[in-house]
Structure 1
Amino acid sequence: MARQGDRAASRPRALALGAIIATVVAAHALLTQFVMLRMQEMSPDQAPTIKRMEASLVADMELTAPPVVSAPPAVPTQPVAAPRPAPRAASAASRPEPKPSAPEAASSPTEPVSEPIAVALAPSAPASAPEAATPAASAAASAPAFEWPQATRVTFKMEGYLRGPIYGSAQVEWVREDMRYQVHVDAYAGPSFAPIASQRWTSEGTISPDGLTPGRFESINKLLIKSSAPKIVTFDEQEVVLPNGDRFPKMPGVQDPASHYIQMAYQFMLKPGLLKVGNTIEMPLAWTKKQETVTYDVDGEEALDTPLGKVDTFRLKPRKFQNSKGDEVLADIWIAPSLQYLPIRMLIRVGKDNYFDMKMDKAPQQAPGGSTQAPRAASDPL
């Protein structure tokens, strides 16, 4: 009788153990299926069209006095030829044979064929008019030149609300190779290895004395295992082409949603006086649905708590577009002059209740402009 009682008592335990084993097996099966679906989710027409460049980031940035030029003082080891309509020989052949007179020669200095990736903070007085020189012009003439870093990355911790509390991460990354650049903006809701949702913006283009000249912008959104096809904006010499094929005359200095963060930092380094409370900053911007000028108000100054301690910032608040349909993604931006005018906080509001608040979670990383290590494409072998 005792043995029968033991057997009866052991049956519930065996059933419970079997249920646990079945649950674990089912969970592993679901996890395996989820991973396989994520590996297969991106069909060829959904894959990124821009080959991503990557670079080793060699140092953490430190707080400095607000720079008038970028922190790295060294010029690139190999000067890069600036874009020219024709080679030097062709230009020389196209010039008229007679030599210019002395006054013309004095007022028309010959430009070099190649120059480093550097831009003077302000133009010096013309050589033909020394009497027009002022103390400000003399200071500008002796100022160092701006150097584009090889790579810079700012990472953020993200929290917000979208039909419930959400948490995640984001980063803004700049990479350049000679006169070519890429800007990557990546945001994840949930863990980065298995996000609930993610958004990736990529801008690719060239560098000119005026800053960034986008050539292509790409936006990819994901929700769980579903990935959207890339939305691509191309920038021709005269036109902007939207994903639906619509064409618009290209606005001078137009940027895209990724590049405009870096372009603003560049402008503030060249002209720190722009960052004064009450000023407005305007920038033409091409979205995936339209092209329009974005206006930011310099709303105030604020000291933010960061992993580097208190950091003084200027808050830029975007104005709403006229005839807005609510599909634009505009953020309040906190610019840190002591960190090369980079954005260290971004607050995106979507409708009344939904928002995403991204705050810098560690020191930005950078590879200075003088680095000799060239960026590599993400698909290149290590």
Structure 2
Amino acid sequence: MLRVTYLHVLSATAALALPDGFEIHAFASPPDADYPAAITVAPNGDVYVSSDQNGSLGKKPGMGRIIRCRDTDGDGKADEFVRFVPDVDSPRGGHIVGDTLFLIHPPYLSAFRDTDGDGVADEKKQLVSGLGGGIEHPRGADHTTNGVRMGIDGWLYISVGDFGAHPAVGTDGTEVTLHGGGVLRVRPDGSGLEAYSLMVRNICDTAISPTLDLFSRDNTNDGKGWNTRFHHFTALADHGYPRLYQNFADEAVVPLADYGGGSGTGALWLDEPGFPKGLGSALFSCDWTTGNIYHHPVERSGASFKVGQEVFLNLPRAIDIDVDGHSRLYVADWRGGGFNFAGEGKPVGMIQQI
């Protein structure tokens, strides 16, 4: 009874912020799907929840799993929950390509497949190691590597937090060292690992457009002059953290925007004809601190872009956003949670469908 009341009140509050013409409802919630550090949505509408009861600072083994949430009767709510990966430490962002889930679980990027159709992955291939720290790190999986998405070029683009990679190693033995945050990329078989865009603070996710433009909402450095910057990533660009922005700012790539305080989390380039004009080919980002999911109008400006910012939806501790093949958005939040396990019987998180 307590859990039902909790969901009803906060879902209704979130719905008030949506633009006209949109509806939102709970898709999956605790105890079936909890602690969503990220969500990955398949074209058919299956939602893979990276559930991590450690949060960002916990270091206890066996607290992570990937939960596949499926709506079998078409009512817009998940009614089948399977532990696609029953035990994986520090699960973070992923990307579905065909029958493969590419998953960041720092310090690794791995590929998981269900080859016998029982809903549980029985094949795992480790593609990259050395991507930041996991539960063995003094701060757990905080400020580590959090996201991966495939671009139209077939490369996997990896969002690395400010603990960097020391070094990251691909399947062909290629090594890349990154002292700070940035974007790496690698082939789907783990070969060809390389640095793509460098020297940001602590990004969680990267949105990729159909024309291969990359964007991300960064995190602040806690009052030391680097605010919530919005980046356009290009090959081998130096965005200036932690050195250039203070002493040689004219040598660093200028961000598209500086949004003051905040904590960037999920990001998505939406390219869906089923959405209203202005929102169907659009850029979205999430912010934990403000709780907002933002829509960013984008306008080409020279070799880069101008971006705006409008609140699309307000959530308690917005975490992630993704879309399925039927033009349905899914949003995840961390309501009820902190930086560690909240305790038995305390519901944390919500996944909603728009």
Q: Highest relative contact order (Cα 8 Å, sep 6+), 1 or 2?
A: 1
Whether TM exceeds 0.5 here: the answer is: no
Structure richer in helix, relative to its length = 1
- TM normalised by structure 1 equals 0.27
- TM normalised by structure 2 equals 0.29
**Structure showing greater Rg:** 1
